[in-house]
Amino acid sequence: MANIGFAGDSAGAMLALATVLWLRDRDIHCGQVTGVLLYYGLYGLQDSASRRLYGGSWDGLARQDLDDYQRTYLASPADRESPYYCLFNNDLTRNMPTCFIVAAEFDPLIDDSLALYQTLREHHQPCRYKVYPGTLHAFLHYSRMMPSADRALRDGADFFRAQL
């Protein structure tokens, strides 16, 4: 069976990890998931210090923006508790592939990334965490202008090369 990996940034990171959990929970085999690359994701926290401190009109992540995205994404308010939206409501203590969790220093979602890393690490699940200093949410989109974005993409490629 082939080794496969998933990756995403922002909501895509949540979708990547949710897909891995969905496959695991339903015992669906489409390859051996050996790595998940998660750039500055949303994993289910509804409030945090970083959500209160960071984000605004400059990055599209003001509190109202995050609420609007959630309403657009979810069919009902009850879906906020789904283990495939609020990933902390899923079992993160078993059978997890290696995760590389990337965070932006001034991101309103950095606490989601840190909480995911701490949860996985505390349950002895394979994971790595790296914060890129001086960056905002979605900094990857500026790889031709920001050396840190280029470095994050290269680090992600190195991670996948090692995992796959």
Q: Any idea which residues carry the catalytic annotation?
A: 10, 107, 137
* SS3 assignment, position 69: helix
* SS3 assignment, position 123: coil
Instruction: In whole angstroms, give the CA distance from residue 65 to residue 79.
Output: 18
By DSSP bridging, strand 32-39 and strand 3-9 are parallel
Instruction: In whole angstroms, give the CA distance from residue 61 to residue 21.
Output: 26
CB 148 within 8 A of CB 20: no
